[in-house]
Structure 1
Amino acid sequence: MSQVTEYDNAPKTDHAYDGIEEFDNPLPGWWKWLFVASIVFSPFYFLFYHGGAAGRSVEDQYGIALAENTRLQFAEIGDLNPDEATLASYMNKPNWVRVGQSVFKANCISCHGREGEGQVGPNLTDEYYKNVKNIEDIAKVIINGAGGGAMPKWSDRLHPNEIVLVSAYVATLRGQNIESNRGPEGKNIPPWPEPVEDEPETPEE
C-alpha cells in the first residue's frame, strides 16, 4: 500500500502534460504588490534620473566622480607645461601614460582608432607626421587643432594636464606600426628626445 503524502491532496490546476500535473500555487500577495509597486515607482524614477536635471543621471554622477578623482591625481603633480622635457619625461611614466590613454579613448578613437591606427584622422603609430616636427608639436596640435578644423582644438575641453598626458600617450604610440587602412601621411621626423632624469636632492648639511 502506497504512503499518502501531503502533496496528494494539494490543489492542482487543470493543466496536464503527458500525465504531469501542475500544483495550483499562486504567487504570494506580497510578491504581487511588490511588482505593482515597482511599476508605480518606475515613472518617478525615470523622471528624477532621466528628466534632464543636471547631476542626477548615473552618467553625470560618474562624470562628477571621475572629475574629482582626476583633481586628486593632478594635485600630486601640479600644473604641467606642454614642453619637450615634460612630455619626454611623462611618456616614460607608465602610471601617467595610462591616464593619457584613458583621455585618448574617451575623446580620440572616433577619428584615430582605438589603438591610434587611424580612421578619419591619420595613423599615429607609424613614423610619419603631418603637423608634427618635434614632440612639443603634439600638444600644440591638440591645443590649437589642425587641418583647417579637421582636427578640432581641445584647449577648451580638456584640462591642461590632460593635454600633456594624452600628448605623452600619443608619443608612446610612435613606431608600433599597427596595421591601418591609411598609408603614410606627412614626413619622417627625428626621434623623440630622451627623458631627462630628475637630479636627486642633495641633503642639507
Structure 2
Amino acid sequence: MFPLITLAPALASLPSDLSLGSGNYYNDVMIIAVIVVLISVLAAAFVIQRAMSAILKLTMPELLQQEKAEKAQKKILQKARWNNILGLRPISEEKDIMIDHDFDGITELDNPIPIWFNALFYSTVTFGIIYLLIYQVFGWGMNQDQEYVHEMAIAEKEKQAYLAQAANLIDESSIEVNATMIAAGAAIFQANCAACHGDAGQGGIGPNLADKFWIHGGEIKDVFKTVKYGVPDKGMVPWEQTLSPAQIAEVSNYVLSLRGTNPAGAKEAQGVEVTYESAAAEPQKEEVL
C-alpha cells in the first residue's frame, strides 16, 4: 500500500490529455512507464502477502489452526441452517424419522414439510384473504369495468396531448383545409384580426377577406403563410410570435371560410380574383353562419 500512496501525487500531476498512441513520443514513454510501475507495485504487494502468510504459518501455527476451525464451524452452521430451511435431514438421522410400515421392503421417511413451502403456502393464503377484502368486501380496488374506464380516461388525455403537440407541428407546407377548426378560428379572428379586417372580414384598415380577390394568394397555404410571417411593409404584423401554429391554422381556416360571403359594407376588391376548381373549395354558408 505504501508505494501506491507515494505514487498518488505523481499520478495526479500528470497532464489530463495523456493517451497512448497520441503521436507524442515522450507521452507514450511516460504512460508505459506508469503502467509498468503500477504492475510492479501490484506484483510486489502479492509477493509480500504470500510472504506474510508463510511467516504466520511458521511462527503462529496455533492461530491458523484456530482460524481454520472457526471457518469450518461456521460452514457447518450455515449448512445446518440451510438444510433446516429446505427441510433436509442428514442421512445419519434417517433411522429416527423412518415410518414403521413398509411395502416389499420399501420404507418411507416421515420428512417434515420444508419451511420455505409453508412460508409460500401461508403467504398465498394471506394474499388471497387481503385481495378478497380489498376487491370484493370493501370495494377499495377497481374491478375490471372500472379499470377499463380509468385506462380509457388516461388514454384520452394522452391522445389530446398528442393531438395538441401534433397541431403545433403544422406549417405552411403541411396545412390543410379542416372545417372543424373554423369555430375556434372565429374566436381568434375576433380577438386579433377584426380590428383591421372587420368583424365579418369585410375589410377596414386591412383588405377585404370576404370576396374572391386575394393579394397574397387565396389558398390555405397562402393564408397560413401571410398570417404567420405578416406583410410588414403593408402594416400586417407577423403573428408567429403571438399565436401558436395550431391557432394560426384555425384562424386560416376561418379566413378561408369567409370567401364569397360578401357582407354589407365590404371594402372594394384588391388583388387577383381566385377561381377555385372544385366546388368543395367553396365555403359553405351554413359553416360561416
Q: How does 1:1-205 map to 2 (within 5 A)?
A: 76-80=163-167, 81-83=170-172, 86-88=175-177, 90=178, 92-93=179-180, 96-146=181-231, 148-191=233-276, 194=280
Task: Work out whether residues 172 and 222 of structure 2, in 8 Å CA contact, stay in contact via their aligned partners in 1.
Answer: no
> Which structure: greater helix fraction?
2
Amino acid at match of 2:255: V
**Matched position secondary structure for 1:106:** helix
Where relative contact order (Cα < 8 A, 6+ residues apart) is larger, the structure is 1
What RMSD, in angstroms, separates the aligned Cα atoms of the two structures?
Answer: 2.5
Q: Select the structure of larger CA radius of gyration.
A: 2
Q: Which runs of 5+ in 1 are unaligned?
A: 1-71, 196-205
Runs of at least 4 residues of structure 1 off by over 2 A?
72-80, 82-87, 192-195
Q: Which moved more, 1:174-183 or 1:164-173?
A: 174-183
**Matched position secondary structure for 1:79:** helix
Task: Work out whether residues 139 and 163 of structure 1, in 8 Å CA contact, stay in contact via their aligned partners in 2.
Answer: yes
| Cα deviations by residue, 1:54-96 (Å, 9 ceiling, x for unpaired) | xxxxxxxxxxxxxxxxxx97754542324577431x1x22xx2
1:148 positional shift: 0.8
Identity over the aligned pairs, expressed in percent? 28
Distance 1:158 1:123 in 2: 22
| Cα deviations by residue, 1:165-186 (Å, 9 ceiling, x for unpaired) | 1001100001101123521100
Distance 1:164 1:192 in 2: 22
Q: Which runs of 5+ in 2 are unaligned?
A: 1-158, 282-289
Q: What is aligned with 2:78?
A: none
1:133 positional shift: 4.5
TM-score by length of structure 2 reads 0.38
Task: Work out whether residues 134 and 192 of structure 1, in 8 Å CA contact, stay in contact via their aligned partners in 2.
Answer: no
**Aligned positions, number:** 120
TM-score by length of structure 1 reads 0.52
Distance 1:132 1:154 in 2: 18
Distance 1:74 1:177 in 2: 38
1:190 positional shift: 2.9
Amino acid at match of 1:102: A
